Structure 1
């Protein structure tokens, strides 16, 4: 089996998560967050589209982590993002973290909005 080292350039992958927190680049963030290739910010949940839309020119796909289990997201959250040209993929937060890390390592223009587990 051949292993390949992953390089993230200046971006920081999600190192871990647990009840109510995420660890990114060795720093712990409590509560819901948005992670972009340029950094991490606190996120106020589905009512907070402004945080994501402010980076719309840098995002092709947004992964939405809905917590420990996959759940539907409100249409009034999804629709404005898609109208802005951002693809939205919904999954449980653990899967969203893993998927974000893989695409980030490929240099893709991705972001992730995460509800804590």
Structure 2
């Protein structure tokens, strides 16, 4: 049996740390949406406490099947009102801390899934 690595044109989150991620080697220090179709959208979200439905409406406009929500340094679930725009379009959402969201996004994107990671990158004190 011949084994070959999967190939994908999806952006890859190549590293991460407190308050930053790197997408294909480019360091990003603000909240961002990374989609498997190549889109990278600045996400105007600086703190979990400031999130609202409009932040998730941006995600609902993408051609995706699932959102991986990275809620910062610890897992915090979105309020039902925030994710209503996703539910109305039948887009699934999984919540985890941002580090886990980066790893999960990479796996799903490399599998060819239509996925977006909404990564909350909170300022480091």
TM-score by length of 2: 0.80
CA distance in 2, matches of 1:61, 1:49: 12
Could you tell me which of 63, 68, 75 is aligned with 2:68?
A: 63
* Residues 116 and 4 of structure 1: CA distance in aligned 2, closer, same or farther (over 3 Å): farther
The answer (yes or no) to whether the contact 2:56–2:83 under 8 Å persists in 1 is: no
- Structure 2 portions without partners, runs of 5+: 46-50
* Residues 4 and 115 of structure 1: CA distance in aligned 2, closer, same or farther (over 3 Å): farther
Could you tell me which of 100, 111, 117 is aligned with 1:106?
A: 111
- Structure 1 portions without partners, runs of 5+: none
Give the match's secondary structure for 1:49.
helix
Q: What CA RMSD, in Å, does the superposition of the two structures yield over aligned residues?
A: 1.7
Q: CA deviation at 1:19?
A: 1.9
Give the match's secondary structure for 2:15.
strand
Q: Which residue of 1 aligns with 2:34?
A: 35
Q: CA deviation at 1:4?
A: 5.9
TM-score by length of 1: 0.85
